[in-house]
Chains A and B, each alone.
Chain A
Amino acid sequence: MNAHNSVTIVMIEDDEGHARLIEKNIRRAGILNDITHFTDGTSALNYLFNSPEGPALNGPALILLDLNLPDMSGTDILAKIKDGNGALRRTPVVVLTTTDDKVEIQRCYDLGCNVYITKPVNYESFSQAIRQLGLFLSVIQVPDIGETA
């Protein structure tokens, strides 16, 4: 990722187990960025937009988003992040979820999601996918929040 290593990975995932497995495999891919984990949408949104350490007020970020959350739908969060004038509209969002419904996938891309990954149930595929995601994360460029078009 960025040389100064300041990009925060925000993971919004209600399943602790999944979160742990994702984190483990990202680390195995050699990604050492901070990973901030939230298990519900409300606190995640609060962190993203309002927290002093959050990406809206403090530096670039990359968001890993699960669609099945207890308090709100992941697509709502996606819509808020990608909202036309929001501070985070250029922040890359990787949707990582169990849902493989065609309509849902289309909807996420329509809302501006950058990558949509279905969690494979098979663990080998799962860890492979996450590691590849890690490799991907290590090469992509994340825009600075402060920049304007």
Chain B
Amino acid sequence: MIAKLLKRFGPSESTIGRYLVTAMTIGFGALALAIFAAIWVTQRNQDHTFWVDHTYKVEVELGNLRAMTEQAETARRGYMLMPTLQSFVPSYRRAAAAIPPALDRLAGLTSDNPVQRANIAALRGHFAGLVDQRERAIRLTQQGRVDEAIAAFRTDTTVTRMKHVRDLLGAMETEEHHLLARRDFEQQASARLFYVVLAVAALLILLVAMLVMITVARFTRDITASRNSLRQLNASLEDLVQERTADLSRANEEIQRFAYIVSHDLRAPLVNVMGFTAELDSATREIAALIDRVESRAPELLTQDVRLAAREDLPEAIGFIRTSTEKMDKLINAILRLSREGRRVLAPERLDMAKLVASIRDSLKHRIDETGTEFVIEPSLPNIVSDRLAIDQILSNLVENAVKYLQPGRPGKIVVRGSRSGRRVAFEIEDNGRGIAAADHSRVFDLFRRAGRQDQAGEGIGLAHVRALAYRLGGIIDVRSELGAGAVFRLTLPATLNELQDDRP
């Protein structure tokens, strides 16, 4: 019932647990995503920076190249104009010498770009041409053939080549700018993507956090509700138990009262039956005496029927009535005794069980010695706190039965032992007597019921009494036995009789 009620109060712990774990997993996933996105974006940034730097390097080289070319050209032209000024020559040499390495550096920087490679190849061609023409012009000028050099300058391709070089350098610069613009755009795109990922992760985490909070709040509310309901249930359960206990003890009292009244009221008519039977008996004796007298004086007055009636039928009938009423009297007394035991107030006290069992043995000493029975009390019987009279009656009955129902032809042996387990103790009375068939195991504890050969006196009250007493002491009694193979009666009791049990009215 309680399990069903618990189920009604919200989701179970395991569902909640699974739910929370899922939510946490999603939350951590979102966090991991954000971290990965950050790492990715940082890498992209580094790449971008590298490429921006690269572009600037290329531009610097381009500028350098342009400057050198222009300087070389300027120096050549200056030298042709003023051949006397020898300082143009080293200036030209320096600029001309700087061009090939600058071109190589540029080629190295742009080796991954086919467009730039083509441009550089074209540049190399132009530069080669330019170098030829310039060297010739410088050489002619140094030899004093300035006119020749100027004439060559007019006819050669220097001007167009320079124009081409400038165009090419410009194209390369534009190309690099395009690349940079594309990389900027990519960089912005990845930054946008990063923000989107970050936003999604943040949203997810927020969502998960909210869900978890809501779940936990609901779960807490459910727990509080179920705890309150449990508390209420508990309180009402206690009431219920008290009510039931009261009902039970009322019912028990009722039964006890009933048994008491019934046995009392049965007694009154029984007194009459027995009384008038006795009267009838004495009257019968008078009649029998009269018959005897008549027989001796006037036998002709008597018939055989009259003789039989007075001498046999009447005494026989009276005999049967007598034995039946006597038996009934015993039964009524048994019921009375049981009901009286049930009403008796129990008085728990500390009991020395070894001593108690020894006194039971002593009280049965005569029977035990007579039958040659060996009686063993095992050492260390646990002591208990219980009602002395009840315990004494239970054990006396059990020991008496053991002595009473021995197997003929087998020397009797009775063992009393005890053990303690937790708050309960168990006592066993074992005999090697005639035993009880399994079918009769529960029957022997019923009132007026007996088992086996009815060759011993008794009404079938002892064990019923024992069981009633055991129940009253909060204990139980059971039996293990086989027909012809002895019996073990086991009495299990609380080690300390609960005081509450004696508060019954």
Contact = CB atoms under 8 A, between A and B. Distances in A.
Contacts, number: 49
Interface string B270-297: 1110111111000000000000000000
Interface in B299-347: 326, 329, 332
B272 A17 contact: yes
Given A98-B267, A126-B271, A21 B329 contact: no
A21 B275 contact: yes
B268 interface: yes
B361 interface: no
A107 to B, nearest CB: 16
Contacts of A18: 268, 271-272, 275
Contacts of B270: 121
Interface in A6-34: 15, 17-18, 21, 24
B44 interface: no
Contact of B268 (A24, A68, A122): A68
A15 B275 CA distance: 13
Given A121-B329, A122-B329, A98 B279 contact: no
Contacts of B278: 123-124, 127
Contacts of A24: 279
A2 interface: no
Given A124-B278, A127-B278, A21 B272 contact: yes
Contacts of A99: 264
B70 to A, nearest CB: 141
Given A121-B329, A122-B329, A17 B271 contact: yes
Nearest to A99: B264
Contact of A121 (B265, B267, B276, B277): B267
Given A121-B329, A122-B329, A98 B276 contact: no
Interface string A106-149: 00000000000001011110110000000000000000000000
Interface string B25-63: 000000000000000000000000000000000000000
Interface string B251-276: 00000000000001101111110111
A68 to B, nearest CB: 7
Instruction: Please report whether the interface of chain B is mostly helix, strand, loop or mixed according to DSSP.
Output: helix
A126 B279 CA distance: 12
Contacts of B272: 15, 17-18, 21
Interface in B463-480: none
Contacts of A15: 268-269, 271-272
Contacts of A123: 271, 274-275, 277-278
Contacts of B279: 21, 24
Contacts of B269: 15, 17
Residue with the greatest number of chain A CB neighbours at <10 A, chosen from B271, B272, B276, B329: B271
B264 A126 contact: no
A24 B267 CA distance: 20
A119 to B, nearest CB: 6
A19 to B, nearest CB: 10
Contacts of B326: 122
A122 B264 contact: no
A127 B274 CA distance: 11
A121 B271 contact: yes
B264 A68 contact: yes
Contacts of A121: 267, 270-271, 274, 329, 332
B268 A126 contact: no
A148 B376 CA distance: 70
A17 B268 CA distance: 9
A17 B51 CA distance: 134
A122 B274 contact: yes
A121 B335 CA distance: 15
16 contacts: A17-B275, A17-B276, A18-B271, A21-B275, A98-B264, A98-B267, A98-B268, A98-B271, A99-B264, A119-B271, A121-B267, A122-B274, A123-B274, A126-B274, A127-B275, A127-B278
Interface of A: 15, 17-18, 21, 24, 68, 98-99, 119, 121-124, 126-127
Q: Which 8 A-B pairs have the closest CB atoms?
A: A17-B272, A123-B278, A123-B274, A21-B275, A123-B275, A98-B267, A121-B329, A15-B268
